[in-house]
Amino acid sequence: MLDLKHVRENPSLYRDALSKRNHPAAALDEILALDVEWRKIKSEADELKAGRNKISLEVAAAKKRGDMNAQNLIEQSQSISAKIKGVDESADMIESRMRDKLLYLPNVPDASVPVGADESANPEVRKWGTPVKTSKDVMTHYDAATRLDIVDFERGPKLAGSRFVVLKGFGAVLERALIHFMLSTHVKNGYLEMYPPLLVNRKTITGTGQLPKFHEDQYWIERDDMYLIPTAEVPLTNYYADEILEESALAVKLTAHTPCFRREAGAYGKDIKGLIRQHQFNKVELVKLARPEDSFAELESMVVDAQSILEKLELPYRVIQLCTGDMGFSSAKTYDLEVWIPSQDKYREISSCSNCTDFQARRANIRFRRNGKPEFVHTLNGSGLAVGRTAVAILENYQDQDGVSIPKALRDYMGIDRLDFPKKRI
């Protein structure tokens, strides 16, 4: 959430930021108008309270003198108290409306973020590895997995509906091996492994910015008012909600594997076949809580941690920086890692690493103590990596005419060197 005091003092800065993010500035104007009204009412309340305090002193003095007129003063105080109650209720109602509207405003892009309307304005930062296979050389991961009989694309929809699959045999082993490999790598890099709840309450998912604006994208259990997590970012970031950490504890570095659940409400017709876009998928998440002055350096190191998985698996990838119009709601700066998908002849997102500055920390009330004074931390999150998409990249980049080789870094986790296509019957 944005800092209302800073918004009030710098309205032009926020109008410009919203414009760069393709967000209407009218929402900001509504908040500023409510803020003027709220401050006016608060001033009225302060005047009434000052008047009541003055009368209270007069009542005390009158009682001390034995003055019989004290009762009149008491009645005046009671009348003022009734007015104060009404004014305070009005102020609380306006403050609540302001907070609700602030929850819909996105974070402000960092000055280093390129300005652009959509993904076409995202600059490439660097590439690693050289793609050696293209659509001419490989079958799709969908066809390869079907031929290997490691993913059941038919019975998943029977069990749960579209965009669900069942991993079987070495498909399940590959998934488990990737999760183990990713977590082991990140723990070696200083992250603390966690396993958080997969269901969270409304307060928690609001803290990271999924609510209220993106309610339709979430799986909501109405009876209990609980949400299936769209990413482990939600419970990991909120782990320290409403707490004050010591400065010496920063930076906090957490990692977790969880299933992730997304309705993909805005993705109708996209990536229907295969494992690219599922309603349920596994992901290893990275989360950091950092001092404000360290957070952008921590973002760069998070990207290095995420890309190290791709390098160990020897999968070609590139890093792009998202422009202002393509960043996520809570982010101030984001890098995407995109892995080479031969059957599509292009790179596809496999990780997104973001610095959310103090935006989520304000919503979740996560602070640290510096020189005796509480300050908001900066929160960061990134995929390290999306497991299903990593499996897709392996099935295609490591594919030959006889099957799929297992990356060397995974062989101890898998217990095999390759998956062979069944021989065709003559």
Please name which of 364, 390, 388 lies closest in space to residue 378, comparing C-alpha atoms: 364
- What's the DSSP call for residue 106? P
Predicted local distance difference test score (pLDDT) of residue 268: 65
Which CATH homologous superfamily contains domain 4-102?
Answer: Serine-tRNA synthetase, tRNA binding domain (1.10.287.40)
Looking at residue 108, its pLDDT comes to 97
Average pLDDT, the chain: 95
Contacts of 263 (CB under 8 A, 6+ apart): 216, 217, 218, 219, 279
The pLDDT of residue 64 is: 77
Q: Are 164 and 183 in contact (CB under 8 A)?
A: no
Across the range 415-422, mean pLDDT stands at 96
Distances (CA, A) of 225 to 195, 200, 203, 210, 342: 22, 9, 10, 14, 42
Is residue 426 predicted with pLDDT exceeding 60? no
Confidence of residue 93 (pLDDT cuts 50, 70, 90): very high
Q: What is the pLDDT of residue 289?
A: 98
- In angstroms, the Cα distances linking 271 to 136, 166, 217, 276 are 20, 17, 17, 6
pTM comes to 0.93
Mean pLDDT of 294-308: 98
Least confident of 61-70, 112-121, 257-266: 61-70
Instruction: Count CB-CB contacts under 10 A for residue 144.
Output: 23
pLDDT given at position 390: 98
Q: Which of 392, 417, 393, 391 is nearest to 406 (CA)?
A: 417
CATH fold for domain 119-420: BirA Bifunctional Protein; domain 2 (3.30.930)
Q: Which of 82-86, 195-199, 205-209, 319-323 has the lowest mean pLDDT?
A: 82-86
Q: Is the pLDDT of residue 271 over 80?
A: no
Least confident piece of the model among 267-281, 315-329, 381-395: 267-281
In 217-339, where does DSSP find H-type helix? 233-237, 295-312
Query: Sorting pLDDT into bands at 50, 70 and 90, what band is 125?
Result: very high
Distances (CA, A) of 321 to 113, 126, 209: 8, 10, 21
pLDDT category at 207 given cuts 50, 70, 90 is: very high
CB 349 within 8 A of CB 157: no
How far is it, in rounded angstroms, from Cα 390 to Cα 286?
16
- Domains in the chain: boundaries: 4-102, 119-420
User: What span, in angstroms and rounded, lies between the C-alpha atoms of 157 and 331?
Assistant: 34
Catalytic residue set: 262, 277, 349, 352, 389
Average pLDDT of the residues in 248-275: 88
The pLDDT value recorded for residue 425 is: 61
Mean pLDDT for 144-172 is 97
* Helix/strand/coil percentages in the chain, nearest 5: 45, 25, 30
Q: pLDDT over 70 for what percent of the chain?
A: 98
77 near 59, Cβ under 8 Å? yes
pLDDT at 70 over 80: no
| pLDDT confidence tier of residue 266, bands split at 50, 70 and 90 | low
**Mean pLDDT, residues 113-137 taken together:** 97
pLDDT in tens, 173-203: 999 999 999 999 999 999 999 999 999 999 9
- Among 44-48, 118-122, 185-189, 307-311, where is mean pLDDT lowest? 44-48
- Sorting pLDDT into bands at 50, 70 and 90, what band is 77? confident
User: Which pLDDT does position 267 carry in this prediction?
Assistant: 63
Quick one: which of 412, 17, 11 has its CA closest to 177? 412
pLDDT of residue 69: 65
* Cα–Cα distance measured from residue 353 to residue 303, given in angstroms and rounded to the nearest whole number: 6
CA 380 to chain centre: 8
